[in-house]
Amino acid sequence: MFLSNGSPVPARVQGLADVTPIFADASYYATDGLSLLNQFAAYGELYRRQLWIGVLVRKLAFGTARLPYRAYAITDAGTEQLADNDPLVSLLARPNDQLDAFRLWLWTSATYDVYGEAYWLKLRDDRGRVRELQPMHPANVIIRRDELGELVYFYSAGVRDVSLLPPIPAADVVPFTAYNPDTLVRGLSTLEGLRETLYSEDAARRATASFWRRGARPSIALTHPATLSKPAQDRLQATWDSNHTGADLMGGTAILEEGLTPHVLQLSAEEMQYVETRKLNREEVCAAYDVPPPVVHILDRATYSNVTEQMRSMYRDTMAPRLNMFESAVAHHLVPDFDRSGKTVAKFDLDEVLRGDFETRSTAVRELISSGVMMPAEARPLFNLNPAGPEAAQLFGNAALVPLGSNATPPGVDDQGNALPRPAPTRRPPALPAGEGQADDGAGQTRAYDLRSLAGRLGRVKGQRDALRSRLADEHRAAISEYFGRQGTAVQAALATKDASGLDAAYWAGELATLFGTLGDATARMLGAAVAQQLGADDYDPATLAAWIAAGAKVAARGVTDVTERELARALTDASDPAGAARDYFGGLDGRAEQLAATRVTVVGGMAEHEAAAWAGAHTKTWHAGRHPRVSHEAMDGETARMGARFSNGMTGPGDPAGGADECAGCNCYLTFTGE
């Protein structure tokens, strides 16, 4: 224990101090502690009086108690199987008649954080089996070594003479103790390291209370041209204090007499630092308990991104070590009473708090399934769904992935990356029709697009590759924005007529597939021809990409429509004005249209340029980072590879589907090619 001036006060016995028992029918001694507000405070009193100590102790305690504590049986195959009917599980679910499982862990964690130690007493039946767990408050516990050197515990109940207490063998105690540099027997409270911080916090709070009670310091000086007698000074001070001192009399009117002159005494910058001192105190308390400040709503330095990360780190970095310590103590001191084979494991279940929100989990699971790491039957229970039938119990792989060492080179290049002799130029595809072209949307509907006008606009920048890419992105963005506008108008009209169907996903996916296919064909023709001309070749025919563009357009359109359908449903949830909510949602899709435009030009244009360069006999390709690139792409700026080879990120070029959506979405990087 310690005093307010930092000097230690030795305890009269080997135990920690408190002022009240844990149960009403128990009593025990208390020793001195820290002097706060002119009172001596033990550890328990510090918890009650120090705001941030209480906040952090409760945060950690409730964070621990909310977690399910489960027992698992280790099978012969080495896997863990949940043991639902295990006697240990039953004991932990109902420790005793006074405490449920939640309150037992709440008490254990809070007591550990306040005192640096907590103890469970194992009560056995006449056959020696553990039937109850009772908490033993550290202030009640006295520890000695017997004549054989073995640890024995004494639970005090108002008895000062240890010799009168029945000894409790170490086998009947589950100790949870923090690190203590002086002994392995007793723990060291975190509050000891906060000695000066708590004293400073208490002093700042007393100064604040004094400020509101009587100004905390003289704030007004009254001067008189003459010398006043002592009775006159006392009368003047009493009159001033009765009219103007205290929080309730702030802002009153002062009437002076006999030539008195008031002088306001301002607080200096140094004196105002008590506010910053209190902020420092709370951050030091957070540091002592290893809790990120944003977790307890200290948002002085919080940003949108670091708040999310620090909330996650609460269980990952702060809670995980202490939970492991609790688990280790239970495994060493309690589990052997139920299973000495070592095949029973008891631990906290962190799955619920660490697996993230629904969107994050769905994205991660989709990647694991598409990469062949997880089966759908294994993923479905993560969303409280049944494992489904045998069709879900198999592994799948992304079709864009190929085995290492397989022939994944593009046309026109051999296995060693050497260009093959260029074939004779093929016949140009038929010219675009003079009128409007139509394409089936996949849902029995068609929509016309002015292909001639599109080709004419793009033809003005033919051969100028950078300008052509920019113009293609503009065309994509304008067309996609117009598509979202028509889609929003239709949805609003349906909602205004109380049509519950909302978004006709099949129809709009077909619309967008047609749009992506038309723009993709134009992108492949223009950018492929530009690259071929730069390499001295003419008459490039992108007909070999037609099937790839059509298939990719349908996949991309379906994905965009799925996202729109999901986000629109979320926007309409509990909306008092569904039509207005839909209008606001579709009115905010400009950024999404811009990202989709950049992605489509990069994916389709990149593939067409790569195919055209290979057809024209290019030998090498060089990666160039676009505007505002990803950090990984910026690091690759200027990296050169042979035609047919992959860059250091595993992609053949910007927009390569093998890189996944995270590497392609919004990317505007590009390649240059050389025949050397």
Whether the model clears a pTM of 0.85, i.e. scores above it, the answer is no
State the burial class of residue 195 (Cβ atoms within 10 Å of its Cβ: 0-12, 13-18, 19+).
Answer: middle
Cβ atoms of residues 130 and 91 within 8 Å: yes
User: pLDDT tens-digit profile of 62-104?
Assistant: 989 988 888 888 877 777 777 766 788 888 889 988 889 999 9
Phi then psi dihedrals of residue 60, to 5 deg: -70, -40
How many other C-beta atoms lie within 10 A of the C-beta of residue 115? 29
What was the pLDDT predicted at 220? 67
Report CA 169 to chain centroid distance, whole Å.
45
pLDDT given at position 304:
62
**8 bridge partner residues:** 2
User: DSSP for 55-122?
Assistant: HHHHHHHHHHHTS-EEEEEEPTTS-EEE-TT-HHHHHHHS--SS--HHHHHHHHHHHHHHHSEEEEEE
496-504's contacts with Cβ under 8 Å and 24+ in sequence apart are 496/579, 502/568, 502/569, 502/572, 503/561, 503/564, 503/565, 503/568
pLDDT confidence of residue 495:
79
Q: Which two tokens stand for residue 543?
A: 């007909």
Q: Which helix (H) or strand (E) holds 515?
A: helix 505-534
- Strands 168-169, 141-145: pairing is unpaired
Residue numbers of the chain with a pLDDT score lower than 70: 1-41, 84-85, 157-162, 208-209, 211-221, 246-253, 255-258, 263-278, 300-308, 354-359, 384, 387, 397-464, 498-503, 676
Quick one: pLDDT at residue 447?
39
Contact yes or no for 289/314 (Cβ under 8 A): no
496/490 Cα distance (integer angstroms):
10
Helix or strand holding residue 326 (H, E): helix 320-333
Q: Which DSSP state fits 319?
A: I
Contact in structure between 42 and 18 (CB atoms under 8 Å) = yes
pLDDT of residue 344: 85
CA distances from 347 to 174, 325, 335, 351, 355 (A): 15, 10, 11, 12, 17
- Measure Cα distances from 124 to 88, 329, 330, 457, 574 in Å: 13, 19, 16, 88, 55
- Using N-to-C axis directions, what is the helix angle for 465-496 and 505-534, rounded to 10°? 170
Domain ranges of the chain: 34-192, 289-352, 356-392, 437-616
**Which stretches does DSSP call E strand in 146-265?**
151-155, 168-169, 173-177, 220-223, 261-264
| CB contact at 8 A, 116 and 188 | yes
What pLDDT was estimated at residue 432? 34
**Which pLDDT does position 223 carry in this prediction?**
74
Tokens 């009269």, residue located: 12
One-letter amino acid of 405 = G
CA angle 329, 331, 334 (to 5 degrees): 85
| pLDDT recorded at residue 434 | 35
